[in-house]
Amino acid sequence: MNVDGKHFRTVWMEAGTVRMINQPLLPHRFEIVDLPSYQHTAVSIRDMTVRGAGAIGATAGFAMAQAALAARDQRFHADMAEAAAVIEATRPTAQNLFYATRRVLRAIQAQGSDVPRAREAAVATAHEIADDDAACCEAIGSHGEPLIPQGARISTHCNAGWLAFVDWGSAISPIYAAHRAGKEPFVWVDETKPRGQGARLTAWELLQEGVPHAVICDNATGHYMKSGQIDMVIVGSDRIAANGDVANKIGTYSSAVVAKANGIPFYVAAPTTTIDPDCPHGDQIPIEERDQDEVRCTWGWTDEGQFTRVRTTPEGSPARNPAFDVTPAEYIAGIITEKGVVPASAQGIASVARTG
């Protein structure tokens, strides 16, 4: 996707250094961060310098490649197992992270005791994971675009655009395709508390692409649904269970329930790398609980041009901060994947889930 007319991916690797867009600074400042080691790259996942299912997966793959380049010959496989444990401990919910680390490990193990070839396999596989993510998201746009009527008013939640993936995005990819096809979609952008990924990131992306939109507070979505100003919902996902239940950013479930009550189709868009075939249903998806200060405080730019944090709650008030919730399959009109649109059901998921 383009930033001021120049193409960027969200994350990439050059000569052993992982490079990524520093997302917490957006939309106020565009900055590229260089990460020299897998430990630095793992921290970038944990502190959400990079976020979003596919982008986390690609970053994890690159971190594994960095670990392979640095691992000691005599302890190569042990060092790689340690690195995988560090990377997988960064965030528990996004399935793409675990898909990436385990895919790189399989590529390494296939080389046996040939350490130089194992290093090469790790780097090549990491690049393949990133390229596959970008290609899948472009295909999601192609499969999802026919679902969007001319002039559709679309609600989304959080950021499932190109910043959440290597390129194109999941939920926003069909919208980009519809916009480029002249369908003139309009997007209602939930701000997505507490980190504001909708207000900060999705709105910024849509501005870059020239897609008409409006940012609304999270609890205004129901109002616009009930008043007939939303035609459909498309959201992303961080993990999809084998029965079609979907984990996504906190607040997704509420949007799905209200959409169902108002007869509005609610779609989930995700590459098949987000499917966890070993997770039978949504109750088994681990829900990350993040620092309470993300709820108690907010970051922003002052009129004097300083990027700073301010507290918005009473000093003594505690907070809870689940990062995700689970939307049951019964609320989902369909899941848009790179292989096509499938029902949110065990049969639908099995028809597109990756094996191995």
C-alpha torsion angle, residues 147, 342, 219, 152 (rounded to 10): 0
C-alpha torsion angle, residues 276, 281, 286, 291 (rounded to 10): 110
Q: Are 33 and 26 within 8 A, CB to CB? A: no
> Annotated catalytic, 79?
no
The enclosing H or E element of 294 equals: helix 293-296
Q: What are phi and psi of 285, to 5 degrees?
A: -80, 125
Q: What are phi and psi of 327, to 5 degrees?
A: -100, 120
> In 3-state terms, what secondary structure has residue 10?
coil
Active-site residue identified among 132, 238, 276, 325? 238
- Residue closest to 26 by CA, chosen among 49, 9, 6: 49
The enclosing H or E element of 215 equals: strand 213-216
Taking the CA atoms of 4, 156, 295 and 317 in sequence, report the sign of the dihedral they define.
Answer: positive
Query: How far apart are the C-alpha atoms of 335 and 244, rounded to whole Å?
Result: 8
Structure tokens of 198?
A: 């909708």
User: Could you give the count of Cα atoms lying within 13 Å of 115 in the half-sphere of its Cβ?
Assistant: 14
Question: How many other C-beta atoms lie within 10 A of the C-beta of residue 32?
Answer: 10
Q: Please identify every residue annotated as catalytic.
A: 238
